[in-house]
Homo-oligomer: A and B are copies of this chain.
Amino acid sequence: MKRYRLRVAYDGSNYHGWQEQNNGITIEQVLNETLSKVLKEEITVIGASRTDAGVHAYGNVAVFDSETRIPAEKICYAVNPFLPADIRIMKSEEVEDDFHPRFVDSRKTYEYHIHNSRIPFPTNRLYSHQVIVPLDVEAMQEAGKYMVGTHDFKCFCAAKAQVKTTVRTVNDVRVRKNGDEIIVEVQGEGFLYNMVRIITGTLIKVGLHAYPPEHVKEIIASKDRAQAGETVPAKGLFLQQIEYL
């Protein structure tokens, strides 16, 4: 029995998120069913990030144990033809028997894609959140800097979430513009529920001049979800990569 790690990419549009549940099809469920079929044994993956319904990934991580004789790095090529076109295993490799994708220190990078133009192109509608009013990208960049560091980020946590502590470390928040697209990149060692989507909603308010960049310091200090911006839609969010430290 060996432990394998997969890097998994998916278009989340048609899934009820990562984690198996009763009221809709999930990425985890499709992976379990497909791996079990191809490897001819019952496979149960452990995911690194239980992304929400509609969120996409370039680099989520899953591990599983198997008796397969397929070489580790070939598993992706063996399994991909049996997966639906909106899920792909980008890489497969063997890891230590006790490697757990959530209990090892890691750094996650998320990207949030905003399409910022008065009339958005139809082919961008599935993978970005559309903001019609021109955003001040420089103000957003400045505001992002106040979010970096170890803080109590209660203001950026969905009210319904149940967690022991709302202290988290954000390593970097970058905002870049590429034509009509504005991309918010957030890197951190663990995130609260909906945190990247609320961070982006807050940066959009700064970009609209609803408040100045430095007001972000007060929002964080308030620990009040109501002070921050809205939770922007899932379809603009991509889990880019998970680096194990």
Residues of A whose CB lies within 8 Å of any CB of B are 9-11, 56, 58, 76, 80, 85-90, 119-123, 125-127, 238
- A123 cross-chain contacts in B, Cβ below 8 A: 9, 11, 56, 127, 238
Question: Which of the listed residues A11, A89, A119, A238 has the most CB atoms from chain B within 10 Å of its own CB?
Answer: A119
Closest CB of chain B to A85's CB: distance in Å?
5
Chain B residue, CB-CB nearest to A13: B123
A86 to B85, CA, bound (A): 21
Closest CB of chain B to A96's CB: distance in Å?
25
CB pair A85–B10 under 8 Å, yes or no, is no
Chain B residue, CB-CB nearest to A120: B88
- A122 cross-chain contacts in B, Cβ below 8 A: 9-11, 56, 85-88
Could you write out 28 A-B pairs with CB less than 8 Å apart?
A: A9-B119, A9-B121, A9-B122, A9-B123, A10-B122, A11-B122, A11-B123, A11-B125, A56-B122, A56-B123, A58-B121, A76-B119, A80-B119, A85-B122, A85-B125, A86-B122, A86-B125, A87-B122, A88-B119, A88-B120, A88-B121, A88-B122, A89-B119, A90-B119, A90-B121, A123-B127, A123-B238, A126-B126
A9 to B76, CA, bound (A): 37
Question: Which of the listed residues A89, A122, A126, A238 has the most CB atoms from chain B within 10 Å of its own CB?
Answer: A122
